[in-house]
């Protein structure tokens, strides 16, 4: 589960202070999918960067299963960050590595042993429907398949939170549906909290249990999907 409390990020643009995030709080329990929807400029990218600590929030906390990422330093932070798997708009794969080697990459970083890595990669390729693609290279796959690889890679270190940043914005409608079905199927991973950040309402409507509406760095609506959709 991920708990975000009063997250604020202030940027300086010249002499002007911009509150890209202004007191954002939310909780995503394990086993559920939460959507964050907002227009351009709402603060979505800033939220992604602050949740993953690629950028330090000005104030507030991000807790994953009770561990506060904003309080962690160096080694502890590196370990804590692995609790979040990040899936980008484009899968950002290494073109010179096979699909299996791409999925194995996070495990290589943490020095996992070969047998464990191979078993995990096989399991994950099965999960995302790419059992036979392990020895292929990214350039040989469609955009949708590459996105599946990105999801498998994000799951390699058994994160507690999977964070999707505009996961389908670069995909055609049919591929979008396939990827959304895959994201939805992750709900069976009962220990995983899924957060989907998007500007596309149809994405939220199709797969999310709950949703927050981000505007000007603030959450202006939040709740169960049907309740929020009815209020809009």
Using CB under 6 A, list all residues that contact ligand ADP: 11-13, 18, 20, 38, 40-46
**Is 24 or 141 the residue whose CB approaches ligand ADP more closely?**
24
Question: At its nearest, how many Å lie between ligand ADP and the CB of residue 18?
Answer: 5
Q: Which is nearer to ligand ADP, 12 or 232 (CB)?
A: 12
Instruction: Give whichever of 13 and 230 is closer to ligand ADP, judged by the CB atom.
Output: 13
Residue 121: its H or E element: helix 114-127
Measured CA to CA in angstroms, residue 216 lies from 8, 205, 228 at distances of 12, 22, 18
**Closest distance between ligand ADP and the C-beta of residue 121, in Å?**
32
44 vs 148, which CB is nearer to ligand ADP?
44
Cβ 9 to ligand ADP shortest distance, Å? 8
- Residue 54, judged by CB atoms within 10 A of its CB (0-12, 13-18, 19+), counts as exposed
> Shortest gap between Cβ of 87 and ligand ADP (angstroms)?
16
Beta bridge partners of 31: none
CA distances from 130 to 69, 89, 186 (A): 33, 19, 15
- Nearest to residue 126, comparing CAs of 159, 91, 100, 161? 100
How far is 51 from 71, CA to CA, in rounded Å? 13
CA dihedral 87, 32, 77, 102 (to 10 degrees): -30
Q: For residues 71 and 220, which CB has a smaller minimum distance to ligand ADP in the complex?
A: 220
CB-nearer residue toward ligand ADP: 44 or 146: 44
Least distance to ligand ADP, CB of residue 8, Å:
12
DSSP 225: H
Q: Which residues pair with 164 in a beta bridge?
A: 87, 196
Q: Specify the 3-state DSSP secondary structure of 194.
A: strand
Shortest Cβ distance from residue 195 to ligand ADP (Å)? 14
Is residue 219 within 8 Å of 211, Cβ to Cβ?
no
């Amino acid at each position: 589960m991920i708990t975000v409390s009063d997250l604020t990020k202030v940027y300086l643009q010249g002499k002007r202070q911009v509150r890209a995030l202004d007191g954002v709080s939310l909780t995503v329990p394990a086993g559920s999918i939460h959507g964050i929807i907002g227009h351009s400029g709402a603060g979505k990218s800033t939220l992604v960067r602050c949740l993953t600590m690629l950028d330090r929030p000005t104030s507030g906390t991000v807790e994953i299963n009770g561990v506060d990422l904003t309080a962690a330093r160096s080694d502890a932070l590196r370990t804590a960050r692995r609790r979040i798997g990040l899936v980008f708009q484009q899968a950002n794969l290494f073109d010179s590595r096979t699909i299996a080697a791409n999925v194995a990459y996070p495990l290589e970083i943490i020095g996992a042993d070969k047998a464990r890595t191979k078993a995990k990669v096989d399991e994950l390729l099965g999960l995302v429907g790419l059992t036979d693609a392990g020895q292929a290279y990214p350039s040989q796959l469609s955009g949708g398949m590459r996105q599946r690889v990105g999801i498998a890679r994000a799951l390699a270190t058994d994160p507690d939170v999977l964070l999707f940043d505009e996961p389908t914005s670069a995909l055609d409608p049919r591929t979008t549906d396939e990827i959304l079905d895959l994201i939805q199927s992750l709900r069976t991973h009962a220990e995983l909290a899924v957060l989907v950040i998007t500007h596309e309402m149809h994405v939220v409507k199709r797969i999310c249990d709950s949703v927050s509406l981000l505007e000007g760095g603030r959450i202006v609506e939040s709740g169960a999907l049907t309740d929020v959709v009815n209020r809009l």
